[in-house]
Structure 1
Amino acid sequence: MPSTSSASAAAPGLIGAAAAVAAAVAVHQLLPALPAMTLAVLLGLLAANLPGVAGWTAGPARPGLDFAGKHLMRAGIVVLGLKVSLGDVLGLGWAALLLIAAVVAAAFAGTYGISRLFRLPPRVSLLVATGFAICGASAIGAMAAVRRIRQEETVLPVALVTLCGTLAIGVLPLLARPLGLGPETFGAWTGASVHDVGQVVATAQTAGTAALAVAVVVKLTRVILLAPVVAAAGFHHRLGSEADGAKRPPVIPLFVLGFVALAALRTTGWLSPAVLDAAAAVQDALLGMALFGLGSAVRVGQLLHTGARALLAALASWLLIALLGLGAAFLMFPPT
């Protein structure tokens, strides 16, 4: 918990982040195709780059925005566990589960390789691969925490994953009919290839409730892979810390254990729909404030100057994951 003085310093940024999330949710209710979490990042970008507001985000609001980007992100990941029911995931069948795991592994390795091919730094490449392969900005925040990566280095990966996830909302529905995809196949494609949960919902709902149901379960299967991937990364980082004599990080961070514990609690069926709805609202608030905080650190001028290679790498990775997800969708729901 922050001290009284640090809490006072953080207050302006946290209040601003909360107001931005409220605005993002309001816009989402008016325009359901725009996910609230994507809007939170975009509002952060605007706040960082509009004259007048930019000085506030870089000055008085910065301590609170940094606190949101780091600590509220971890809290949001913990609560995200309540969206994952292991029963729904296992209902896909072992063949589908192995297929989705293979897609995640191939997407992770392929995106990391593409990022390095475009000469992105190793840590940025790792964050981009994690976000694209698993669950967007939440996964980036989790990986940054276990690998002790500075918050400043998460800004570009979050911007890229938000951009490409937003691109998917517009592009994938346009391709469904030319590719001859039925609702279940389209839902599986969306769940297997779109990054953030909110972006998956926004994309899949264009094809109806059957597509949405499949998309959410496939996507949550990817989300639950966050725990073993991050734990493995933390273990690898611990081994490296032992070798160079640095302070050793925990093998499995507490927020990852919290994510797993709440996923197990959701699976028991003990929680009422009202509790789950309230938890979803809390999770949206926490992650929305965190994403606003991260977005508010992006300076568009610097991004355009240094991010051309990163943008090309992200688009190539997006295409790779879309193709991998489409192949998996056809295998799970073969055309009749």
Structure 2
Amino acid sequence: MALELSMPQMLRHPHIQLRNIAPGVVLSAGVGALAVLGGHAENMLFGAQWLEPLVLAILFGAVLRTLWKPGAQFSAGMRFSAKTILEVAIVLLGASVSAQTLLAVGPELLIGIVAVVALVVPGSYLLGRALGLPARMSLLIACGNGICGNSAIAAVAPVIEADSDDVSASIAFTAVLGVAVVLGLPFLGKVLTLPAFHYGVLSGLTVYAVPQVLAAAAPMGSAAIQIGTLVKLVRVLMLGPITVVLSLLAAGLPAEGRRMRDTSDVAPPSTRKHFMPPLFILGFLAMIALRSFDAIPQVALAPMEQAASIFTVIAMAALGLGVDARAVAAAGPRVIATVTLSLVLLVVLGLGLLMLIGG
């Protein structure tokens, strides 16, 4: 059985853990290196990068995963790359966010983000119910789309006692559509000629996972990445109050589609009543605070940014290696329709927010 690895586990048993994760990390790094080479090839052939290495890493990984399923020996390292390496990258990214960037967000945008999530979650739930999905699966999709993708699905599943089959289908399609959003959003931004700040807001509002925001916002530059990450983190932090509300409402959900299977592999029971922001979010915010007080030496900023870029490409490759395009067909037409319409609702509300704040 593959191990779920975290940095504390690595430190406790370094030799054993390194042996477990090495194949998957090397595979992810190899795909990431190909993505970087692909970016250089674009520059040589076209004089510009139409697809950033972050996006290419996801694409190359997804194509490889669809053509060839990596063996069990790669699993632990791929998960480590997609989770721990990425979390380190996000923490390092916090060093590039200044206090001026934080102040630029403003209370109006903060209220708008909360309002968008508050509308998307019940709206997506109603879409799922209208299309005939069970209540719990509709809620999983609604929280996944509205908050933070697979993490939200995993956290909400035990709270509402969701069936493991519904959890698997929701996560599978969210992963595939999440890649589609990362690939398609830059084109929408260019068509609408959005400035970096507003494109960053839109990417933070619509992209499912914190890591994928980096890939989606990258074509518009560092300002879009910073704002997109901040907006996305506000959405992630909404998982706490949403989970509390759902725990109060869960007893009243219809019993249809509920088979009471074990979902302990999705999220531990302790997440039902208590929500603690992930450590990488706290680390990201701590880095912002350090940068704001000039506590990070200037000479360290460029290497930290370069390390964050390298780690992120490796993580994007690992995420791509976990996506099988054939999962779309397996998810079923009602799930596909619900997730797609929920995404449309999210984009429309995001664009509406941009108009309100002067986009």
TM-score, with length taken from structure 1: 0.72
Residue in 2 aligned with 1:37? Answer: 54
Residue in 1 aligned with 2:300? Answer: 275
Equivalent residues in 2 for 1:194-233, closer than 5 Å: 194-195=206-207, 196-202=213-219, 204=220, 213=223, 215-216=224-225, 218-226=227-235, 228-232=237-241
CA 217–71 in structure 1, closer or farther in 2 if over 3 Å, else same: closer
SS at match of 1:319: helix
Residue in 2 aligned with 1:170? Answer: 187
SS at match of 2:38: helix
Distance in structure 2 (CA, Å) of the matches to 1:76 and 1:188: 18
> Does 2:28 match 1:17?
yes
Report the alpha carbon displacement of residue 297 of structure 1 after superposing the two structures with TM: 2.9
1:268 alignment partner AA? F
Residue in 1 aligned with 2:320? Answer: 295
2:270 to 234, 248, 255: 248
Identical-pair percentage: 21
Report the alpha carbon displacement of residue 130 of structure 1 after superposing the two structures with TM: 1.9
1:87 alignment partner AA? Q
> Does 2:351 match 1:326?
yes
Whether the 8 Å contact between 2:176 and 2:325 is mirrored in structure 1 is no
Whether the 8 Å contact between 1:76 and 1:287 is mirrored in structure 2 is yes
Residue in 2 aligned with 1:26? Answer: 37
Distance in structure 1 (CA, Å) of the matches to 2:174 and 2:157: 15
SS at match of 2:270: coil
CA 11–129 in structure 1, closer or farther in 2 if over 3 Å, else same: same
> Does 2:80 match 1:67?
yes
Distance in structure 1 (CA, Å) of the matches to 2:107 and 2:189: 27
Whether the 8 Å contact between 1:128 and 1:161 is mirrored in structure 2 is no
1:169 alignment partner AA? P
Structure 1 residue runs without a partner (length 5+): 132-139, 206-211, 241-245
Distance in structure 2 (CA, Å) of the matches to 1:331 and 1:229: 21
Whether the 8 Å contact between 1:127 and 1:143 is mirrored in structure 2 is yes
Distance in structure 2 (CA, Å) of the matches to 1:168 and 1:289: 21
Distance in structure 2 (CA, Å) of the matches to 1:115 and 1:80: 36
2:234 alignment partner AA? L
Report the alpha carbon displacement of residue 21 of structure 1 after superposing the two structures with TM: 1.6
Q: Which moved more, 1:8-17 or 1:249-258?
A: 249-258
Distance in structure 2 (CA, Å) of the matches to 1:276 and 1:115: 46
How many aligned residue pairs are there? 304
TM-score, with length taken from structure 2: 0.68
CA 154–332 in structure 1, closer or farther in 2 if over 3 Å, else same: same
CA 84–308 in structure 1, closer or farther in 2 if over 3 Å, else same: farther
Measured on the aligned residues, the alpha-carbon RMSD in Å equals 3.8
